[in-house]
Amino acid sequence: MLGQQVSVAAGRTLAARLVARAGRLIAGGTDGLTHLFPSPVALACADLDGLGLTQARTAALRALARAVIEGALDFGAPEEEVVAALVALPGFGPWTAQYVALRALGEPDAFPAADLVLRRVAAAGGPPLTPCALEARAEAWRPWRGYAVLHLWRAAGDAPQHERDVAGNPHQVAGTPSAGTRPRGKRSRSRRDQ
């Protein structure tokens, strides 16, 4: 969520500042690794002033941390429960929840239908599809819509510059996956269910 509505570079900068401020210092890190990402407790207690985060983003991070601490959000739960819990938090909408399902949970059918790049590329040169129209088109891609997402993002990145100007450049959209990223497959049920 640090990368929402900012460039990839800005999202990385915000994440690096957050980790440097609230993350745990590690000894002997390699390849420039110096800190671990903050735990939910560290994130909930951290002074986030001066990092460049908006008040709304700071509130959303704290709400996320509290939800994990209090057990309202369990990333080991089934994907549908994680998505519902995320959407219930301030600052997290369906796009973010589906993006987390795709990238963090490896859900192969996750589908952020409101993504502007997806809506433009799927329109094949016409006006961007509405999220509802894209959802309808994507029904045929179940249960592998996450792979379609990655393909469409990649297609937008591979398009000639004049087409990217029309379709939207995924390298300017925060959180766009790299070419080699793919969903990891269905996750198992919650650890509690095993």
| Catalytically active residues, by annotation | 115
User: Which two three-digit tokens encode residue 85?
Assistant: 């819990």
User: Which two three-digit tokens encode residue 39?
Assistant: 């735990």
User: Which two three-digit tokens encode residue 6?
Assistant: 């900012």
Residue 93 exposed, middle or buried by CB count within 10 Å (0-12, 13-18, 19+): middle
Rounded to the nearest 5°, which phi and psi values hold at 76? Answer: -90, -5
- In Å, how far are 67, 78, 91 from 58, measured between CA atoms? 14, 27, 9
3-state secondary structure 115-181: CHHHHHHHCCCCCCCCHHHHHHHHHHHCCCHHHHHHHHHHHHHHCCHHHHHHHCCHHHCCCCCCCCC
Q: What's the CA angle centered on 63, arms 59 and 66, to 5 degrees?
A: 140
Which amino acid belongs to residue 140? A
